[in-house]
């Protein structure tokens, strides 16, 4: 398995501007604060965490929608922030995305044929006929009737719109698709359909996914690797089965216990974390999780733990591991 995407020491800080005309940056929101992970070809990497942990920001930087403050992102060995011209176009054809909200991810004023073909039109110079053929192909692949290319987004349901968004991302034969909460806004029975479709497409086309979600069951169902994020840092990283089997970091333990049971008999003791997630403007010193951690010791408030290897392939950022 070759490595498709490698993220090293990624940092993204947002300035908090003050002033009316000539705004000066006062403070910084440390949305992503030094993360490293990699995604292999044909595999799914699940990035899990609660709101504000920086997972969406990470995805935006990978998609070149935001510029990183520090660190490097290598796609097939090349640094993506330095890509220009033809290489940039190739990158755009290789890395696509599907976002959460099926209602705002499609331009209400465009027919879905145009929506789906846009990445193709912008990145290649094929004739109209060839583009049309490819559009029909891809619509059929995601389970939609190719004749519906003439219709407008509002004529489709939420689940169908996510399929359209998926078709749009697949039309350029990408190697990596970033899925930002692809099923959260959908009904329960439709979620299953879309997740199955994603898995089938991954098997058939050899796609790699960066799956961003807060739902642990979805991650288990779809991912091969998982990274747990808290307040801008990855606190645990490893293969899904290993992390699910043996949770190392206290936050991971709390997060897993917060996942609701699938049967009343499986109701177990919950770990209820005190307080709220602190602001990313002023993260706690030392380990960011220590104010809410029941196992914190003195060093936790002073020194920030590194993401270290605890078991083969299984990493955790905790002084107690």
Residue 36 or 64: the one with the smaller Cβ distance to other proteins is: 64
CA–CA dist 243, 261 (Å, integer)? 18
Residue 103 or 299: the one with the smaller Cβ distance to other proteins is: 103
Minimum CB separation of residue 169 from other proteins in Å reads: 8
Choices 72-80, 131-139, 261-269, 300-308; region in contact with other proteins by CB under 8 A: 261-269
**Of 3, 11, 132, 221, which one interacts with other proteins (CB under 8 A)?**
221
> Which value, to the nearest 10 degrees, does the dihedral of the CA atoms of residues 172, 58, 317, 275 take?
-130
> Is residue 216 a contact residue for other proteins (CB under 8 A)?
yes
CA–CA dist 194, 213 (Å, integer)? 14
86-to-90, 93, 126, 176 alpha-carbon distances in Å: 6, 11, 16, 18
Question: Please, which of residues 83-122 interact with other proteins by CB under 8 A?
Answer: 88-89, 92-93, 95-97, 99-101, 104-110, 114-115, 118-119, 122
Minimum CB separation of residue 180 from other proteins in Å reads: 9
Residue 1 or 269: the one with the smaller Cβ distance to other proteins is: 269
Please, which residues have CB within 8 angstroms of residue 290's CB and are 6 or more apart in sequence?
A: 284, 296, 300, 301
Contact, 36 vs 9, CB < 8 A?
Answer: yes
CA–CA dist 274, 289 (Å, integer)? 11
Helix axes 128-141, 158-170, angle to 10 degrees: 130
Minimum CB separation of residue 144 from other proteins in Å reads: 13
> Is residue 272 a contact residue for other proteins (CB under 8 A)?
yes
> Is residue 127 a contact residue for other proteins (CB under 8 A)?
no
CA–CA dist 263, 52 (Å, integer)? 30
> Is residue 148 a contact residue for other proteins (CB under 8 A)?
no
Please, which residues have CB within 8 angstroms of residue 286's CB and are 6 or more apart in sequence?
A: 299, 300, 301, 302, 303, 304
> Is residue 126 a contact residue for other proteins (CB under 8 A)?
no
Binding site for other proteins (CB under 8 A): 21, 50-51, 60, 63-65, 88-89, 92-93, 95-97, 99-101, 104-110, 114-115, 118-119, 122-123, 152, 157, 165, 168, 172, 187-189, 191-193, 195-196, 214-218, 220-221, 244, 254-267, 270, 272-273, 276-277
């Amino acid at each position: 398995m070759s490595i498709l995407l490698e993220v090293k020491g990624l940092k993204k800080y947002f300035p908090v501007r003050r002033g009316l005309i000539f705004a000066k940056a006062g403070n910084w929101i440390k949305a992503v604060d030094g993360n490293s992970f990699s995604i292999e070809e044909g595999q799914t990497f699940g990035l899990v965490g609660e709101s504000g942990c920086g997972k969406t920001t990470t995805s935006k930087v990978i998609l070149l929608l935001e510029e990183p403050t520090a660190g490097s992102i290598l796609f097939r060995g090349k640094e993506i922030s330095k890509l220009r011209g033809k290489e940039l176009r190739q990158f755009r054809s290789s890395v696509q995305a599907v976002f959460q909200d099926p209602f705002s991810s499609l331009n209400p004023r465009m027919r879905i044929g145009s929506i789906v073909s846009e990445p193709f039109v912008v990145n290649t110079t094929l004739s109209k006929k060839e583009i049309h053929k490819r559009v029909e192909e891809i619509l059929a692949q995601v389970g939609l009737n190719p004749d519906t290319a003439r219709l407008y987004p509002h004529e489709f349901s939420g689940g169908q719109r996510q399929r359209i968004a998926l078709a749009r991302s697949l039309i350029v034969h990408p190697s990596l698709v970033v899925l930002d909460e692809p099923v959260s806004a959908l009904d329960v029975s439709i979620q299953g359909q879309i997740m199955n479709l994603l898995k089938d497409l991954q098997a058939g086309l050899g796609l790699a996914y960066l799956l961003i979600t807060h739902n642990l069951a979805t991650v288990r169902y779809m991912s091969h690797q998982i990274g747990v994020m808290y307040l801008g840092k990855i606190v645990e990283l490893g293969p899904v089965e290993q992390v699910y089997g043996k949770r190392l970091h206290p936050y991971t333990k709390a997060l897993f216990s917060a996942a609701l049971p699938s049967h009343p008999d499986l109701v177990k003791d919950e770990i209820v974390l005190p307080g709220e997630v602190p602001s990313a403007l002023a993260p706690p010193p030392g380990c960011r999780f220590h104010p809410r951690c029941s196992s914190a010791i003195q060093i936790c408030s002073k020194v920030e733990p590194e993401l270290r290897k605890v078991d083969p392939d299984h990493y955790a950022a905790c002084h107690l591991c």
